[in-house]
Amino acid sequence: MRETGRMGTLEGQDVELDVTSIAHGGISVARLDGRVVFVTDAIPGEKVVARITDDRKKSFWRADTVSVLEASRYRQEHVWVAASIDRDPAVRAGGAEFGHIALAHQRTLKEQVLRDALERMAHITPEVTVEALPGDDEVSGTGWRTRIRLHVDDSGRPGPFAARSHTVVAVDDLPLATAAVEEVAPLDQRFPGEETIDVLSPSEGGARLIIGKQARTVVTEKVGDREFRLDDAGFWQVHHGAAATLTAAVQDLIDPERFDPRAANLDLYGGVGLLAAAVGDRFGQATRITSVESDSRATDHAAENLQEWIGASAVTGRVERWIRELTSSATATERARLAGATIVLDPPRSGAGKEVVEAIAGLDPAQVVYVACDPVALARDVALFADLGYGLEALRAFDLFPNTHHLETVVRLSR
């Protein structure tokens, strides 16, 4: 086999690959003449024909599966025709990269990715089970997205991006979306001059469109009997059952023996107050908790959503700066209240990072409950916490994004 730099490039050529394992990001791993190849739309154990898309790096190449020579027993007909390998990779819809894999095996692969990340980065091997949400198995992991973003091409037609590109793909259906979202999605309409169309179906008020940068409106989401108000374009969990699942998981993972309702409990990256409310509902109206969020509109909504708790407050600030200022200015009394605190955090995909982890550990809280949407970022931060004396005590993982590689993990850390 020719190698880049000696006999020219292989980019654009088809090669046979034996797929050996799964990697973070929804891609599988193969080798070609000893070089690692990250290949899409494959399953470990398969032999595939893949097209080399990038051979510029010495350490690894990238490729897209174009046909399967020896299929895994876990391969199924893709849940979304627009994303199947029957289409050219350049116009293969993104956002359902595990749709060709049986749902139970998708979870097995996600467990492997999470376990491998924790072993490699945090040097621990916890028991990992990715839990399904009720009803998902019965519909093959479809019909769960209450929010979806469509992009608009030069002709004005909306659609998803192709996988790993900014090419807009024309599609006729959106099988991962709820029925309400799919019904109003304007896939056959034209929006010249616009860039995005957001389609959402909140708990109340019916499905709606947000065209471009139109004026925002306020919507209501329900979690059990509790209502949360937020901007229609604001952040909310996408799976129709995710908010309730994470509420219950955070409540479950907080150790009640370590929880002090009078301590200076914190909800970092708090959004509109979902997890702060979870803590308040678990431990009563006297619970003190401060929710910190950089989006001022979300903070305004959090203040309203948390108003029934006397000790609850919502502040606007970048968590990195806010917690740094807290650690430098806290009085002895405030530090004593922080030392007994429970800190909940739900950072963005990039994770909390070294500065925030060090600041949290420096406050000496009783326990930390960390909600993560990226297993590698979580593993890195768990390792940082461990170096500062906070070990992983409990873990739960959830398949909040069926037919994609994403998962959500909730862990408890304590000294």
Instruction: Name the strand (E) or helix (H) holding 392.
Output: strand 391-398
- Provide the angle, in degrees to the nearest 10, between the axes of the packed helices 319-329 and 354-362: 30
| 89: number of Cβ within 10 Å | 19
| 167 has catalytic annotation | no
Read off the tokens for 402: 């069926």
> Is 112 labeled as ligand-binding?
no
> Is 367 labeled as ligand-binding?
no
Contacts of 360 by beta carbon, 8 Å cutoff, 6+ apart: 268, 323, 343, 345, 352, 368, 385
CA distance 348 to 345: 10
Query: Which entry of 373, 376, 382, 383 is annotated as an active-site residue?
Result: 373
> Is 251 labeled as ligand-binding?
no
> Is 269 labeled as ligand-binding?
yes
CA distance 334 to 306: 22
Instruction: Name the strand (E) or helix (H) holding 281.
Output: helix 274-283
Cα within 13 Å of Cα(306), Cβ side:
31
Which of 265, 321, 309 minimizes the C-alpha distance to 284?
309
Instruction: Name the strand (E) or helix (H) holding 394.
Output: strand 391-398
Report residue 46: phi and psi, to 5°: -90, 160
* Residue that is written with structure tokens 């896939």 in the block: 187
Dmax of the chain from CA atoms? 72
- Provide the angle, in degrees to the nearest 10, between the axes of the packed helices 375-387 and 354-362: 40
The annotated binding site for S-adenosyl-L-methionine is made up of 237, 269, 293, 346
The annotated binding site is made up of 237, 269, 293, 346
As annotated, the active-site residues are: 373
